[in-house]
Amino acid sequence: MSTLSDLVHAQGRLTDADVEWLHRLAGDGQLLADLASADMVIWIETADGSFIAVTHSRPSGAATLFYRDLVGEKVRPQWRTQVQAAFDSGTIVDSSSPDWFEETPTRVRAVPIMRAQAGDEPAVIGVLTRHTNLGEVRTPSRQQISFDECANDLFRMISSGEFPDLSAPTAPRRGAPRASDGLIRLDVDGITTFASPNALSAFNRMGFDDELEGESLAEVTTRIVPPSRQVDESLPVVVTGRAPWRTDIDARGVTVSLRAIPLRDHGTRIGAIVLCRDVSELRHQEQELITKDATIREIHHRVKNNLQTVASLLRIQARRTHSEEAREALTQAMRRVEAIAVVHDTLASGLAQTVDFDEVFDRVLKLVAEVAAAPNTRARTQLEGRFGVLPSEYATPLALALTEVVTNAVEHGLSGREGVVSIEATRTADHLRVTVTDSGHGLPEGRVGQGLGTQIVRTLIQGELSGTIEWTGAEGEGTQVVIDIPMRWIIA
């Protein structure tokens, strides 16, 4: 299904500012659908003068009229005149008689979407239609009447360019309150004129045991929040309905999330809607995740420190060893331990258990520089392409394998001479391919050695990463190593 941006840009009639406005309105499409107990559809004008649906929101507390999504469809003939009239006049147009849709009587309201522009009059950029199912009409409850009044206030604000409010937070946090979770209606003085049962229950759980209606929500909040508890500085403007903001209230072990939507009539504030939701369990889960993430980071940090201590001990032992063969073995072991420590150091700096492998490999190349500093060897490394982000379980074996391959290219391929080691990383949807090429001595007799380093690389690439590795080259012509890892094993 095409996104709102794709559908709008395909018509080429609206600006980026218009698209942002529509995105903001679409973000509250579910709220409007729930308040009005009706389907909500946003239409924009097409190049041929018709209209196309770019969003569709269904009510969560009532039956939908449309079992198939309307997004991407052109406006149907029975709605065309009404939508066009709202678009041309810039006023709300209600259907004069019930509209029949698949043998179901419906009522349609077309609301022009006006975008406020600095210094200019608001301009119509689309039409919002409300489709109400009259086949399920029952005697409305007081809650439904209040919800419908709130919906009508928002429709009026949409038609005058006062909703959505661009000063409101853009990205809703996890657990953002919805109309069904709890709704409070405030008058211009911040006095509660209506509180849904769920809203009242949320405040009861925080210690307020009276009726909310007729009470100042700001005073109620002051009474239930302990004086010793630090509160969000935005709390006063939210509970008075003066700003379109969000905040949390904590009391008696209960956390309630609040969202205020100021209601205006041609620029004059007439009250507010405050949505509330008990998010105690969600906040508890988030706190547990934060604690676990901090613990994991601390573990990675300690592992890194321990590995660096081991590498330092190996370095000291290598310096005190008189046997050249033993010194070389200890040096190689030190380098391998340091390569693993680089990955743990990177993991310790972030919350996600993924690694920007380009950053890791830059640090691996610095480790190789120590080998390149050997007498009579002048090696330069060149890196092309990008590895991208890899899960930690793949970053460690790949870092260790590449350390072995690049070090071997410098230490043996370019031993006693000047040359270049080129590393090229190519990542596609299916594979990660790494090619390491040196301009050194090449493979003796064209065959790959069977030393410990080669065995380690084969085990890591083939065994842990389910990939392949190939060595090619001839004596005197340099060596090329190609590592190919299937992306189905790498979930970035």
d(CA 179, CA 197): 11
Q: What is the pLDDT of residue 331?
A: 77
| Blockwise average pLDDT, block size 10, the chain, 492 residues | 84 89 94 95 94 95 88 93 95 87 87 84 93 80 94 96 85 76 96 96 93 94 82 86 91 92 93 94 80 73 76 80 82 76 70 76 73 61 86 81 82 73 87 86 69 80 87 77 77 44
Helix (H, G, I), strand (E, B) or coil at 143: helix
Sequential DSSP letters for 397-434: HHHHHHHHHHHHIIIIITTTSEEEEEEEEEE-SSEEEE
pLDDT of residue 491: 45
| pLDDT number for residue 85 | 96
Pairing between β-strand 378-385 and β-strand 418-427 as defined by DSSP bridges: parallel
d(CA 13, CA 5): 12
Q: Residue 334 has what pLDDT?
A: 78
354 token code pair:
């993924």
Residue 105 backbone phi and psi in degrees, to 5:
-70, 135
Give pLDDT, residue 431.
Answer: 85
> Reading across the β-sheet that carries 468-473, which strands appear in turn?
378-385, 418-427, 431-438, 479-486, 468-473
To the question of pTM greater than 0.85 for the whole model, the response is no
Quote the pLDDT of residue 492.
42
Distance of CA 272 to the CA centre of its chain: 30
Neighbours of 416 (CB within 10 A): 11
Q: What is the pLDDT of residue 360?
A: 82
Beta strand 354-356 with 254-265 is unpaired
**How many CB atoms are located within 10 Å of the residue 220 CB?**
18
Instruction: Report in angstroms the alpha-carbon separations of 159 from 72, 85, 93, 188.
Output: 23, 13, 11, 21
Rounded-to-integer distance, Cα 322 and Cα 296, Å: 41
Q: Helix and strand tally (H, E) in the chain?
A: 13, 18
Q: Which residues have CB under 8 Å from 27's CB, separation 6+? A: 164, 172
As a whole number of angstroms, the distance between CA 390 and CA 356 comes to 7
